[in-house]
Amino acid sequence: MATRVTEHPEANKRHAALTAPNQLPLLSGDAETGFPGMTDLDTGKTVPVADVRAEFERLSRQAPRDPEAERAFIESKIEMIRNDPHLSEEEKQRAIEQLRSRLQ
């Protein structure tokens, strides 16, 4: 069960629908719409789900780009690749080259 840090009742109400990372909702599905639903493990109730990818894409296009932040992000992914024990040196080099090409 998730433990809330705050004692403020209003904050607890706002966060009541959140789920702890180790207690993700379960897919329950909707036979009529074919759209997957989610079930909260704590309450057993269906949690509303919506596909907001188009809205997220629209908002993302409106946000100004930050080349320095993008560079830092890609460099952090390169470091993750370098340290991945499951990739061969050849796989690491190929992945790093692909990421570096995005910096240009």
Q: Could you tell me the two tokens for 21?
A: 């990372």
Q: Are residues 71 and 82 located together in one domain of the fold?
A: yes
- Burial class, 62, CB count within 10 angstroms (exposed 0-12 / middle 13-18 / buried 19+): exposed
Altogether, the residues listed in the chain come to a count of 104
Q: Are residues 49 and 73 located together in one domain of the fold?
A: no
Q: Write the DSSP symbol of residue 17.
A: T
CB atoms within 10 A of CB 94: 13
- For residue 12, pLDDT over 90 is answered with no
pLDDT band at 6 (very low <50, low <70, confident <90, very high): very low
* Phi/psi of residue 98, nearest 5 degrees: -60, -45
Q: Are residues 51 and 74 located together in one domain of the fold?
A: no
Q: Is the pTM of this model over 0.85?
A: no
Q: Are residues 71 and 59 located together in one domain of the fold?
A: no
The whole-number average pLDDT for the span 43-47 is 85
- Distance (Å) of CA 37 to CA 2, 32, 33, 46: 22, 11, 10, 7
* Tokens 């789900």 sit on residue: 49
Q: Are residues 79 and 91 located together in one domain of the fold?
A: yes
The whole-number average pLDDT for the span 34-38 is 66
